[in-house]
């Protein structure tokens, strides 16, 4: 008998009809002799709707109350799902994060899981029930409800699979798996059969929202094999597994885009030791994450410093930096929110040079100006004007021939 954790995302449970269909599918797996733990998201659009309510009332909503509010979306779907299972003639029990208990720290709206008690789940599984658990939520030591950050139901599912030592963790969504790029913006995107945790971590961190990055990190750490697949077909999806289990590694395995960042430039910064710290300390003290950073070389003891932050932090960052600029005697602060970060990812890049220059050439051929660049062992990212996002993604996807399984390039055995 296998123990399987399955997570169904918002579009998969977006109506009562869809919830009934999910219940029928899960019952089928149970009838094959499996113990089933089902993590559900809120209905699609619900978490956004609740967020809008909060913002109508408080510009920067109280974070404890925000969690109280946002966690309700998942309560609705698990209750309806349990009813659907019962209506179909089997038995299910729905459990909230605190009933499980999924313990987290107290960083409201972006809490991290500290431990999971599996006793209640196991008791119900042993009684023959399907156990359905609210995704995205947990509870603090004090008993306050928390949420794990947007997209966090994936993380709930993987954490449960790790804690229960499940045989598999399946993430059901509205596409057939992990693709070479977002299939909703590039028709030539190709489904990847197997991808390593590290590549998936890069893809997720660079904008492929098909998996929440924290879920991939947990899966890697606890060696949980992940299967990303469609709610609406029976097809095999994508397996996220250890790199050494993958026979062929590709030069470039995916193209991603991220439209959630904004660029800030401070002009004519004195080029001397300690200035970067003066700029970035107040930003990090405000809990603002900085992504790409560029500092130009200078001949005149003055330089320009450019970096990116999340768009949601842009207004606060600009305010802080205008003060900093005055203090350090910089000339001015400029910002641009209409940018996108386009990235190519592939473990094969480790052993190959020339990938970045190929990327630059492809963008140049399309007349797309690169505003910033950053590289790591297995990725190259470029910031471009947001209006070029789709063009850039499709051009790179075409040029690296990602619609075909490209040649394996690793030669070591
Ligand atoms: P769910 O509600 O099921 O959690 P999400 O909307 O969070 O679903 O994630 C699925 C979406 O991720 C897809 O509809 C697709 O538009 C987007 N996506 C972005 N990049 C990729 C990619 N490389 N492969 C697959 N889907 C991707
Ligand atoms: N409902 C939450 C969200 O929309 C969590 C999730 O769906 O993963 O972000
Ligand atoms: Mg998601």
Structure confidence by residue, pLDDT tens digits, 118-174: 999 999 999 999 999 999 999 999 999 999 999 999 999 999 999 999 999 999 999
- Looking at the domain assignment, is residue 110 inside a domain? yes
Distance 296 CA to ligand 3 centre (A): 38
Q: Is 189 inside any structural domain?
A: no
Residue having the nearest C-alpha atom to atom 27 of ligand 1 = 182
Q: Distance between CA atoms of 271 and 293, rounded to whole angstroms? A: 15
User: Does the beta carbon of 12 lie inside 6 Å of ligand 2?
Assistant: no
Res 320 pLDDT > 50: yes
In this structure, is residue 222 part of a structural domain? no
State which of 152, 174, 196 marks the end of a domain: 174
Q: Which residues contact 39 (CB under 8 A, 6 or more apart)?
A: 5, 6, 7, 8, 132, 133, 134, 135, 153, 156, 157, 160
Write down the pLDDT at residue 406.
Answer: 58
CATH number, residue 282: 3.30.2130.10
Helices and strands: H and E segment counts in the chain: 13, 20
Give me the CATH number covering residue 26: 3.40.1160.10
Over the stretch 334-357, which tens digit does the pLDDT of each residue have? 999 999 999 999 887 877 778 899
Distance in angstroms (rounded) separating the CA atoms of residues 251 and 408: 7
Whether 290 and 394 map to the same domain: the answer is yes
Q: Is 215 in the pocket of ligand 2 (CB under 6 A)?
A: no
413 assigned to some structural domain: yes
Q: Do 167 and 274 reside in the same domain of the chain?
A: no
Helices 389-399 and 355-365 pack at an angle, to 10 degrees, of 130
Asked whether residue 268 falls in the same domain as residue 411, the answer is yes
Element (H, E) at 130: strand 130-134
Query: In terms of pLDDT, which residue wins out, 315 or 73?
Result: 73
Q: Using alpha carbons, list the distances in angstroms from residue 203 to 15, 208, 284, 342.
A: 30, 5, 25, 11
Residue closest via CA to ligand 2's atom 8 equals 151
- Is 209 a residue whose pLDDT tops 80? yes
Question: Which of 121, 141, 174 is a domain's end point?
Answer: 174
pLDDT reported for residue 405:
77
Q: How far apart are CA 184 and CA 208, in angstroms?
A: 11
Same domain as 170, residue 85: yes
The yes-or-no verdict on residue 116 having pLDDT over 90 is yes
Domain's final residue, options 174, 203, 228: 174
Do 26 and 140 share a structural domain? yes
Higher pLDDT, 249 or 145: 145
User: What pLDDT sits at residue 409?
Assistant: 46
pLDDT, averaged across the chain = 93
Residue 263: helix, strand or coil by DSSP? strand
Does residue 226 fall inside a structural domain? no
- Cβ–ligand 2 distance for 41 under 6 Å, the answer yes
By three-state DSSP, how is residue 115 classified? Answer: strand
Q: Is the CB of 42 under 6 A from ligand 2?
A: yes
The range of the structural domain enclosing residue 155 comes to: 3-174
- Tell me, yes or no, whether 40 and 150 share the same domain: yes
Domain membership flag for residue 71: yes
Pocket test for ligand 1, best of 42, 173, 212 (most atoms within 8 A of CB): 173
Q: Which residue's CA is minimally distant from atom 5 of ligand 1?
A: 210
Find, among 238, 246, 37, the residue nearest to 132 by Cα: 37
Check residue 246 and give its pLDDT: 65
Q: How confident is the model at residue 410 (pLDDT cuts 50, 70, 90)?
A: very low
Is the omega angle on the peptide bond into residue 230 within 30 degrees of 0, that is, cis? no
DSSP 277: H
d(CA 227, CA 235): 11
Q: How much is the pTM? A: 0.91
Q: Which residue has the higher pLDDT, 163 or 298?
A: 163
The residues placing their C-beta within 5 Å of ligand 3, an ion, are: 9, 151
Residues 260 and 399 placed together within one structural domain of the fold: yes
Residue 410: both structure tokens together:
């690793």
- Alpha carbon distance 265, 274 (integer Å): 18
Please answer whether residues 59 and 96 qualify as being in contact, where contact means their C-beta atoms are separated by less than 8 angstroms: no
Q: Is the pLDDT of residue 83 over 90?
A: yes
**CA 25/CA 7 separation, integer angstroms:** 12
Residues 149, 260 within the same domain: no
Separation of alpha carbons 66 and 77, rounded Å: 19
Q: Are 148 and 270 in a shared domain?
A: no
Q: In Å, what is the CA distance from 262 to each residue of 50, 59, 307, 383? A: 25, 21, 8, 10
| Phi, psi (deg, nearest 5) at residue 6 | -125, 140
Domains contained in the chain, number: 2
321: in domain: yes
- Contact 178 CB / ligand 1 (< 6 Å): yes
Question: Ligand 2 centroid vs 336 CA: distance in angstroms?
Answer: 28
Residues 167 and 249 in one domain: no
- Residue owning tokens 């890697």: 220
**Do β-strands 113-116 and 238-241 pair in parallel, antiparallel, or remain unpaired?**
unpaired
Query: In the predicted model, what is the mean pLDDT of residues 277-284?
Result: 94
The confidence score (pLDDT) of residue 249 equals 61
Question: Do residues 137 and 36 both lie within one domain?
Answer: yes
255 and 162, same structural domain? Answer: no
Q: Please report, in angstroms and rounded to a whole number, the separation of the first and last CA atoms in the chain.
A: 36
CB atoms within 10 A of CB 264: 21
Tokens at 307, concatenated? 């970096």
Most distant CA atoms of the chain, gap in Å: 78
Between the alpha carbon of residue 250 and those of residues 143, 343, 378, the distances in Å are 47, 15, 11
Residue 404: inside a domain: yes
Q: With 80 as the cut, is the pLDDT of residue 413 above it?
A: no
Taken as a whole, the chain contains a residue count of 413
Ligand 3: centre distance to CA 152 (Å): 7
What CA–CA distance (Å, rounded) separates 116 from 162? Answer: 10
Alpha-carbon distance of 261 to 259, in angstroms, equals 6
């Amino acid at each position: 008998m296998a123990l399987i954790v399955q997570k169904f995302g918002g579009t998969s449970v977006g109506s009562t009809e869809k919830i009934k269909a999910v219940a029928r599918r899960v019952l089928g797996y149970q009838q094959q002799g499996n113990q089933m733990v089902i993590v559900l998201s809120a209905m699609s659009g619900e978490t956004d709707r609740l967020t809008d309510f909060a913002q109508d009332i408080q510009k920067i909503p109280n974070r404890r109350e925000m969690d109280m509010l946002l966690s309700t979306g998942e309560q609705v779907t698990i209750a309806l799902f349990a009813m659907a299972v019962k209506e179909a003639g089997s038995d299910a029990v729905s459990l909230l994060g605190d009933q499980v208990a999924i313990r987290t720290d107290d960083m409201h709206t972006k809490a991290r899981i500290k431990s999971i008690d599996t006793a209640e789940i196991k008791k119900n599984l042993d009684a023959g029930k399907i156990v359905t658990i609210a995704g995205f939520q947990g509870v603090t030591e004090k008993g306050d409800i928390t949420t794990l950050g947007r997209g966090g139901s994936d993380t709930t599912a993987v954490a449960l699979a790790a804690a229960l030592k499940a045989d598999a963790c399946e993430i059901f969504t509205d596409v057939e798996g992990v693709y070479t790029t977002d299939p909703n913006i590039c028709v030539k995107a190709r489904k990847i059969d197997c991808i390593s945790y590290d590549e998936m971590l890069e893809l997720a961190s660079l904008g492929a929202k098909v998996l929440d990055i924290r879920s991939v990190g947990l899966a890697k750490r606890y060696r949980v094999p992940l299967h990303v697949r469609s709610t609406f077909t029976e097809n095999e999806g994508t397996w996220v597994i250890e790199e050494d289990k993958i026979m062929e590694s590709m030069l470039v395995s995916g193209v991603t885009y991220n439209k959630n960042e904004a660029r800030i430039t401070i002009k004519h910064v004195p080029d001397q030791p300690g200035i970067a710290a003066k700029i970035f300390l107040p930003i990090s003290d405000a809990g603002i994450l900085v992504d790409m950073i560029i500092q130009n070389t200078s001949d005149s003891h003055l330089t320009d410093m450019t970096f990116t932050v999340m768009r949601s932090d842009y207004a606060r960052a600009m305010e802080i930096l205008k003060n900093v600029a005055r203090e350090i005697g910089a000339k001015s602060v400029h910002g641009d929110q209409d940018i996108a970060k386009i990235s190519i990812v592939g473990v094969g890049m480790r052993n190959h040079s020339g990938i970045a220059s190929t990327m630059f050439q492809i963008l140049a051929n399309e007349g797309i100006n690169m505003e910033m660049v950053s590289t790591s062992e297995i990725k190259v990212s470029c910031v471009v004007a947001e209006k070029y996002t789709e063009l850039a993604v499709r051009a790179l996807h075409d040029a690296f021939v990602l619609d075909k399984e490209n040649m394996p390039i690793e030669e070591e055995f």
